[in-house]
Structure 1
């Protein structure tokens, strides 16, 4: 059969489930569910020009592409193209068709520089380079065995610090937005990010189906969220989406305190493994994860292509 590439049809359950299934098979350390995909489709801002694509072979979704402009960046003209193919359906042309369709879409909306994440495997890297992409920074996926591993014991917070959960801010999440915006802007990345739209953040991030407010731990100092470790869950798996500390409170061990507490909560809730990710140059966070017992389970490389 001939592989075809088309837009994801959000009203068709088989498309949504097929997209999520391929993503989990290709990257089992990244959480995605049909519900989280539907949420992204519904709430991604129009200026992102978000266009999820699927490659279909004989009625089966065998490849996916998440395609959008970096709308949260102060620098215009940057786009993201992340392509994944079912591990047992490679070498059928799906990946190349997805890349071509994604690039045409982003170029039509003003993109001049495209970024993609590629698993650090020879075949994947060669594929990216054949399509004109060059390697940039790298990042690690890490896994922690919550069932059989040994977490560091819980520590009593230092004087003036209280551990809460994100659920405690349900009535007024703005302090969480401010903390997320500050810490995200300081993350190592090829693309600078700025969160400035509170209402959009509420819809896109705070209300995302994967976000578990009860397992997200927040270190509070003088009533202000100073550090947090954001938990994502899909019913079977737990992952840390973000861990960070506000600039004024760094160097006090608050991120370590918050993440350890969140992991203990996750284990008590019945989760047996935890995933997280780190930029390879983020030494402080890699040190925290090593202390917690995480081990690298995969590495990905950021590739970039200049258009035109």
Structure 2
């Protein structure tokens, strides 16, 4: 049976659903939806040279790849490729073909250092090594049952602090952009990011169909957004904390714990039954907050790096 690799067909609903299905089977710890996949494909900044690839066998999507340049990094020449194959359709050559197509695309656009997340399982890590990648930093996926055990009680708000939601900024989200940009710059990563393009942020982040503004909680101090916990949902009863951050001037006051707990309470009140999140394994402070909230590690992934000659 022949496996081919091609671009995702955004106008073909079955193709997009096949991409989402593969991602959900291979990586069920992240929310995937056809709408979110299309949004990523259509709204990512052109400078990223973003592509969504599929591996197809006898008309069925069995593998997927998202490929891009780190266009918002101050260091040029960095590329990302994340390859996932349906766990029941491995050993058909789909993964290798996707890696080759992704690397050729990135190299053609100037990438010299490539990064790929790989689930921390022997077969996946061996696959990465065979293709010339070496292990780097790691991150945990975490899960919490919202329908079962009780959440920590919400503590009284500190003096001068109030809680709002992202929906309160619908008319002017720029204050949230500025907070997001500051916190992303300090997020643990192999690739530094500088979020400076407001229009691109609105198109890619604020207008993401998975972003649930009513469940995204913002701590405000003296009228200024100081911390936030962004919540995404996909209509399946699950939610995920996509990003949590605190402005530098307000760190050390417990605001991250405050907004994360408030976001989970809102999610439970909205009828959601499962919460997901992820953390760099070196981010001890956030891992401690998530443990306090009742999250448990459900999987680990390892970022791998390859230098192109």
TM-score by shorter chain over 0.5: yes
User: What are the within-5 Å matches in structure 2 for residues 230-241 of structure 1?
Assistant: 230-236=230-236, 237-241=238-242
Task: Specify the alignment match of 1:20 in structure 2.
Answer: 20
Q: Distance in 2 between matches of 1:45 and 1:144?
A: 33
Alignment pair present for 1:274 and 2:269: no
Q: Distance in 2 between matches of 1:251 and 1:45?
A: 34
Q: Distance in 2 between matches of 1:73 and 1:15?
A: 31
Q: Distance in 2 between matches of 1:189 and 1:54?
A: 27
Task: Specify the alignment match of 1:210 in structure 2.
Answer: 210
Task: Specify the alignment match of 2:303 in structure 1.
Answer: 302
User: What are the within-5 Å matches in structure 2 for residues 1-308 of structure 1?
Assistant: 1-236=1-236, 237-308=238-309
Q: Deviations over 1:69-118 (max 9, x none)?
A: 01111110000000000010001000000000000000000000000000
> Which 5+ residue runs of structure 2 have no aligned equivalent?
none
> Which 5+ residue runs of structure 1 have no aligned equivalent?
none
Q: How far has the Cα of 1:46 moved from its partner?
A: 1.1
State the number of aligned residues.
308
Q: Distance in 2 between matches of 1:229 and 1:303?
A: 28
Q: Distance in 1 between matches of 2:242 and 2:71?
A: 19
* Corresponding residue SS for 1:240: strand
Q: Deviations over 1:35-80 (max 9, x none)?
A: 0111111111111111110000110000000001011111100000
Q: Distance in 2 between matches of 1:193 and 1:287?
A: 25
TM-score normalised by structure 2 residue count = 0.99
Q: Distance in 1 between matches of 2:59 and 2:288?
A: 46
Q: Deviations over 1:185-229 (max 9, x none)?
A: 100000000100001100000000000000000000011000000
Q: Distance in 1 between matches of 2:294 and 2:150?
A: 7
Q: Distance in 2 between matches of 1:274 and 1:244?
A: 18
Runs of 4+ in 1 over 2 A off after TM superposition: none
Q: Distance in 2 between matches of 1:114 and 1:123?
A: 20
